[in-house]
Amino acid sequence: MNNTVIMTPREIVQELDKHIIGQDEAKRAVAIALRNRWRRMQIKDPVLRNEIMPKNILMIGPTGVGKTEIARRLAKLAGAPFLKVEATKFTEVGYVGRDVEGILRDLIDISVKQERELAMKKVEHLAEDAAEERVLDVLLPPPRMGLTSSEKDSSTRQVFRKQLREGALDNNEIEIELSASQVGVEIMAPPGMEEMTNQLQSMFQQIGSGRTKTRKLTIAKAMKILREEEAAKLINEEDIKTRAIENVEQNGIVFIDELDKVAKRAEHGGGGDVSREGVQRDLLPLVEGTTVSTKYGMIRSDHILFIASGAFHVAKPSDLIAELQGRLPIRVELSALNVEDFVRILTEPSASLTEQYAALMATEGLELTFDKTGIRRIAEVAWKVNERTENIGARRLYTVMERLLEVISFEATDRAGEKVHVDAAYVEKHLGKLVDDDDLTRYIL
């Protein structure tokens, strides 16, 4: 696992606090779950270590309060294979749509990519040197009888090497022999047939492997391609696959969003909810622990952490089938956001919304500033609109800010050098009429 995962629960919460306002209970739950992955790996007894299963989490809360954002930030902190999926994308086996086993196939793809990038980084200096030598061989072709080491490091070669490293030759064109790119065959997988199409694709990709072709490129582009080629020669693909599978099995995290959309509404009876319940039943073995066949090998899901979330406006957590409820033992409720939360969202997080808009306008030479009264009025408008129409949480701030700054965004180029100060009066002038008119609010904000 990445070093960031060795952070304590308190440090993880502090890191999440930089980006997400409130929702302390949810932050604590994911911080403990993340730390427990590391704790389990420290246990010396392999039998006991294998018996400790992750405690899966169900996050319940209205839309726009931070459920998905917690998952997104957790992915960056985790340093582990992380996948976010929507439950609504999957269907019961036998119906048109994706099979839930595709979750693990996507997760192993992510893990292999991570491991390959790490392996490439370890050999980047060697790859850089090898690429440099290949370019120098083109610029200064060796004599047919071969070179001695003293000739190879001749003063002329050293001059070219210095120019190459300084970027003085970047725009020069050279003809160089490169590996022929693999046949680009993209096969669109029918739902549920991903495994077969993966096998077909790998078969097509082997066609033409090992061939080379001469291309005319600038030295800068040639160096980039050669670095990748040389790095690929230095890494062991089998080791990458082995590490990737182990990383998925021991440290993988899957975030399943919109779980409430596949819950069977009690008041609807048995009718058209067969596929919804089927998705839940298909998720059961995956969440509890099963083996799935992928193009990289068999993967067990016993120790993968599953975090599910849903608004549960219409359906309730109790509408999920009992077996799935039992596999999500930790329940966390996220609270709806109020005016104070909106004020904090606009000012406290790193790269807050106000900071983003100010930076965008600064590129045009326009100075945009917000004062406390303006920020509070924006928060009040967003909260008021949420109360009177659909409550979409913090996402309403995007709509309000876009509407508020629409004129400035359009005219920014012509107003370079000006200063625009957003206070309560400015917000009232641009949004006051919209907020007071219910019909306009529904369509515009």
Tell me the two tokens of residue 335.
């609270």
Cβ-proximal residues to 229 (8 Å cutoff; 6+ apart), any chain: 131, 178, 179
Whether 387 has a binding-site annotation, put simply, is: no
In this structure, are residues 299 and 249 in contact, taking their beta carbons and an 8 Å threshold?
yes
Q: Is 64 annotated as a binding residue?
A: yes
How far apart CA 253 and CA 83 sit, in angstroms, is: 7
C-alpha Rg value of the chain to the nearest Å: 28
Confirm whether residue 91 is marked as ligand binding.
no
Terminal alpha carbon distance of the chain? 44
Alpha-carbon 336 to chain mean position: 25
**Alpha carbon distances (Å) from 435 to 205, 344, 399, 401:** 58, 21, 13, 13
Ligand-binding site membership of 66 (annotated): yes
Q: Give dist(CA 316, CA 325) in Å, integer.
A: 11
Residue 268 CB coordination number (10 Å): 13
Listed residue (384, 398, 344, 391) closest to 62, CA to CA: 391
How far apart are alpha carbons 361 and 420 in whole angstroms?
10
Alpha-carbon separation of residue 416 from 362, 363, 368, 371 (angstroms): 9, 9, 11, 21
Per the annotation, does 65 bind a ligand?
yes
Q: Which residues pair with 308 in a beta bridge?
A: 58, 256
Least Cα distance to 20 among 78, 77, 66, 57 occurs for 66
| Cβ atoms 442, 399 nearer than 8 A | no
The reply to whether 323 sits in an annotated binding site is yes
Here the tokens at position 351 are 């790269």
Ligand-binding annotation for 68, yes or no, is yes
Contact 111, 252 (CB under 8 A): yes
User: Is residue 98 part of an annotated ligand binding site?
Assistant: no
Query: Residue 212 and residue 313: Cα distance in Å, rounded?
Result: 59
CA dist 355 and 16 (Å) reads 18
Cα–Cα distance, 325 to 323 (Å, whole number): 5
Count the Cβ atoms, other than its own, within 10 Å of residue 423.
17
Give me the amino acid identity at 133.
E
257 is in an annotated binding site: yes
Q: Is 423 annotated as a binding residue?
A: no
Please give the biggest Cα pair distance in the chain: 88
Quickly count: other Cβ atoms within 10 Å of residue 256's Cβ.
26
What CA–CA distances, in Å, run from 404 to 371, 382, 385, 428, 438? Answer: 15, 11, 14, 10, 17
Task: Return binding residues for ATP.
Answer: 21, 64-69, 257, 323, 395
Task: Return binding residues.
Answer: 21, 64-69, 257, 323, 395
